[in-house]
Structure 1
Amino acid sequence: MARGPRGESGHRLIGASPEDLLTKLRVRSETGFRQRWRRVKTSSILAIQAGVAGALSWLFANSLLHHPQPVFAPISAVIVLDISVGQRLRRTAELVFGVALGIFIGDSIVFAIGTGAWQLGLVVFLATVLAVFIGGTPAVVSNAASSSVLIATLSPPAKGIYYLRFEDALIGGLIALGVSALLLPANPVAAVSRKAGPACTALADGLAQAAHAMGDRNADEADEALTRLQEAGITVSQFRDALPESRETARVAPLRWRSRGALGKYKDAAEYLERALSNARVLARRAVTMIRDEEPIPEELCRSVYTLGEATKEVRKTLLSDVRDPKVADLSVQAVAEAAEAYRKGLSFSGSAVVAQIRAIATDLLGTADLGHGEANELVRRAGGNPAKPVG
């Protein structure tokens, strides 16, 4: 008999009554339906945009410009909308260029040598090679090859080389951009915020675990904190990578123009968080060494790292608020002051390195609170017991 979860589940089903079987099947069916319905709702905006853009592009090319069978217009529209928002402007240009290249090669070759299996193979080969030769991106190469296939099979030229299909591709791409900008554009701030939250949480959790490991002098836990902070790079990268898409939406969608200021704040925060994460990794690595070398670890040093984690949790709240919240600055300065107290009590090499990283992280977190680099540095210097720099 099969073992493990699958075998045990099958055994329970065999011994169950018909009523239990029906109940379990109904629950599974309802769960599967809810999951599928959530996926449908998530994709509904894109489906509406694609339907409208495809219809408008065909209507414009066929009814207004009188292009016969403008199949490339809706195809281009759907392809452009299927591309992630932050790449649509660039990929639209690549799409039109690739389609134009495929049309040119397909029209030229098929008009000269006719249609057939070997002609199709030659057309695709030449379109691909030429697209690669001129330095085309994968999108250009793919579009050149696919459009040449359509030319050679579904719509071969009959009266010479003509360029209405290139115009259709351009029309479809431009209409798709217009539809995505005007019809139900995504909320760029909400999209970035969904990525900023996990990024802040990942950094905060890593710092909290490092602080706990230092307090318990647990080198293995400190090493786990280092691993967690290394893995946090994925969430911080996702936060940073979401910015181009959202900024493009705010740039091209009139309904989202007011989001541009808020997105600028998120852009700065992503850069500061990335630097803070890099410094936090160094901190965790030195914490591992500090514990294993049995260096002194004052309570204030552990508290300082924990306070940095609390400051990081406040960063997300600051990003979501239009009002400048002093909590990030207050907690960052507090962490530096606690680290300075630990330094005065006496630290060895790795402990001193941890203090240096605490000051660097605090400076980065102050940057997320809209403080300039000079102002942030000055706050850190004062909190650390350093005299202010003379002016002039």
Structure 2
Amino acid sequence: MAGEVSGRRTRPARTGWIARVRRWWGRALGSEGHERSTVLLIAKGTLAATIAWVISYHLLHAQSPAFAPFSAVLIMQVTVYQSLLQSSRYVGAVVAGVAVQAALGFLVGPDVPAFALVALVALTIGRWPALGSQGSQVATAAFFAFSTYVSATSTLDKVTQLGQIILLVLIGCGIGVLVNVTVLPPLRYRSAEHGIRTLAHALCDLVSDIYPALRERGLDEERTGRWRARAEQTGELVTQARTGLRMARESLHYNPRRLFRRGRAHTYFEGYAAVLEALERTLRQVAALTRSLDKWSADEDRYRYGAFLASYADFLESLSHITRVFADLDEDRLGDQTSQLHQLADEAQNYRRRLAEQAERDDLPLTDPGRPYGVLVIEAARLMEEFQYTCDVLQHHVER
């Protein structure tokens, strides 16, 4: 009985693990994304490391052949630009470490005080900002070089082994960069779209929560407080979107695949950057709107001005339709999407005008600084300006 129970418990867990693995590989093979990038990076790293090992061990018969495959894998960055940048820094760090060991080793000797001096100088050089994240490799190279120096039996052997370390690193970095450039060099066009989509989704979800509550006049303090908190916590999404856009731009540098784009990518990235900035400003305006609604939640006059609330809900609903298009932004459909955005923007402009007319009919105290009505009307106008500007900017870059 215990075995049966144990079997029943183990089998579903094992089946679930297999199903997750299948789904992961399905995503990797079926569409572009993190899974496919991971598989591609592992495959390219394996290829580069193998080629570097064959050259260093079987052709050069190096005493420390692992330096070459280690270097090839170390600089196998996501983008070609990063591979070139990090390989240059890594080579510089290794050369500096070996040079420190060579200079101090021949001057001071192979004793413990010499090692301490090598470590001190190498760690100090490793702090040089120009080396970036590869600064720690100065000390690593110096320590390996010291070990090689100590084990060498003659001066010529010592010089040869230290020079061989630099040669193996150059071979490994060269192979790593060559593989990354020639074997499906990564282009991150979709990273820019993904960041904008995520930001637009957050904006769409927030606005879509607000306008039904306005129709129902459900502006209690707890609800408006949650809106304020959500609007003020979008900074991380903005940072992620900017990172995605930066990676997308960076993936073009020195990438041969960009030649097949015939200059379109640069134009689109400019448009995406403008859209991202406009969405960021729009989120700030929505945050200001939620603060005004939070003030209204304690104002009993909202029951008197139900028609104004309904008009405001119609206006925000029209804006939510625009955010849904941005949340589905796709380079292959930008032409159709920009036309749709302009139609939706025209509809939203009509709703904003109706909102202003409703405020006049209700004779709202718009000039009273202690009441939220004037601020709400102003926020509606500012929101419309930002949405209209976003649509116009995207249309401009698509037509270029």
Which of residues 141, 145, 151 is equivalent to 1:151? 145
Corresponding position: 1:344 with 2:329: no
8 Å Cα contact 1:340-1:355 kept in structure 2: no
Larger RCO: 1 or 2 (CA < 8 Å, sep 6+) = 2
8 Å Cα contact 1:315-1:368 kept in structure 2: no
What is the alpha-carbon distance in structure 2 between the residues aligned to residue 368 and residue 62 of structure 1?
Answer: 58
Corresponding position: 1:178 with 2:175: no
CA change 1:194–1:324 in 2 (3 A) is same
What is the alpha-carbon distance in structure 2 between the residues aligned to residue 62 and residue 200 of structure 1?
Answer: 53
8 Å Cα contact 1:195-1:242 kept in structure 2: yes
Give the aligned CA root-mean-square deviation in angstroms.
Answer: 3.5
Cα displacement (A) at 1:328: 1.9
Cα displacement (A) at 1:139: 1.3
Secondary structure at the counterpart of residue 81 of structure 1? coil
CA change 1:372–1:17 in 2 (3 A) is closer
Deviations 1:141-172 (A, max 9, x none): 21212222221225657536554544543443
Matched with 2:335 is 323
- In structure 1, the gaps of 5 or more residues are 1-15, 375-392
Secondary structure at the counterpart of residue 186 of structure 2? coil
Q: Letter of the aligned partner of 2:6 in structure 1? A: L
Q: For 1:193-232, list aligned pairs within 5 A.
A: 193-215=193-215, 216-232=218-234
Matched with 2:381 is 359
Q: Letter of the aligned partner of 2:288 in structure 1? A: V
Which of residues 336, 348, 353 is equivalent to 1:335? 348
8 Å Cα contact 1:219-1:292 kept in structure 2: yes
Which of residues 309, 313, 336 is equivalent to 1:302? 313
What is the alpha-carbon distance in structure 1 between the residues aligned to residue 235 and residue 45 of structure 2?
Answer: 34
CA change 1:128–1:172 in 2 (3 A) is same
Which of residues 11, 15, 28 is equivalent to 2:13? 28
What is the alpha-carbon distance in structure 2 between the residues aligned to residue 72 and residue 39 of structure 1?
Answer: 33
CA change 1:246–1:61 in 2 (3 A) is farther
Cα displacement (A) at 1:241: 0.4
Higher deviation after alignment, 169-178 or 111-120:
111-120
Once the two structures are aligned, what percentage of the paired residues are identical? 19
Matched with 1:260 is 265
Secondary structure at the counterpart of residue 77 of structure 1? helix
Which of residues 236, 239, 242 is equivalent to 1:237? 239
- In structure 2, the gaps of 5 or more residues are 29-34
Matched with 1:107 is 102
Matched with 1:78 is 73
Cα displacement (A) at 1:50: 0.8
Matched with 1:3 is none
Matched with 2:136 is 142
Corresponding position: 1:54 with 2:49: yes
What is the alpha-carbon distance in structure 2 between the residues aligned to residue 56 and residue 46 of structure 1?
Answer: 15
Matched with 1:382 is none
TM-score by length of 2: 0.76
TM-score by length of 1: 0.77
Q: For 1:114-129, list aligned pairs within 5 A.
A: 114-115=109-110, 119-129=114-124
What is the alpha-carbon distance in structure 2 between the residues aligned to residue 89 and residue 351 of structure 1?
Answer: 57
Q: Letter of the aligned partner of 2:293 in structure 1? A: A
Matched with 1:379 is none
Cα displacement (A) at 1:64: 8.3
CA change 1:32–1:356 in 2 (3 A) is same
CA change 1:179–1:272 in 2 (3 A) is farther
What is the alpha-carbon distance in structure 1 between the residues aligned to residue 65 and residue 387 of structure 2?
Answer: 54
Cα displacement (A) at 1:311: 0.7
8 Å Cα contact 1:219-1:288 kept in structure 2: yes
Higher deviation after alignment, 84-93 or 248-257:
84-93
8 Å Cα contact 2:49-2:70 kept in structure 1: yes
What is the alpha-carbon distance in structure 1 between the residues aligned to residue 61 and residue 269 of structure 2?
Answer: 43
CA change 1:39–1:74 in 2 (3 A) is farther
8 Å Cα contact 1:332-1:366 kept in structure 2: yes
CA change 1:355–1:75 in 2 (3 A) is farther
What is the alpha-carbon distance in structure 2 between the residues aligned to residue 294 and residue 86 of structure 1?
Answer: 59
Deviations 1:334-386 (A, max 9, x none): 33332332233224453333333333333333444353799xxxxxxxxxxxx
Q: Letter of the aligned partner of 2:376 in structure 1? A: V
CA change 1:185–1:366 in 2 (3 A) is farther
What is the alpha-carbon distance in structure 2 between the residues aligned to residue 244 and residue 181 of structure 1?
Answer: 19
CA change 1:94–1:83 in 2 (3 A) is farther
CA change 1:273–1:122 in 2 (3 A) is same
Q: Letter of the aligned partner of 1:323 in structure 2? A: G
8 Å Cα contact 1:230-1:281 kept in structure 2: yes
Q: Letter of the aligned partner of 2:175 in structure 1? A: I
8 Å Cα contact 1:86-1:247 kept in structure 2: no
8 Å Cα contact 1:182-1:255 kept in structure 2: no
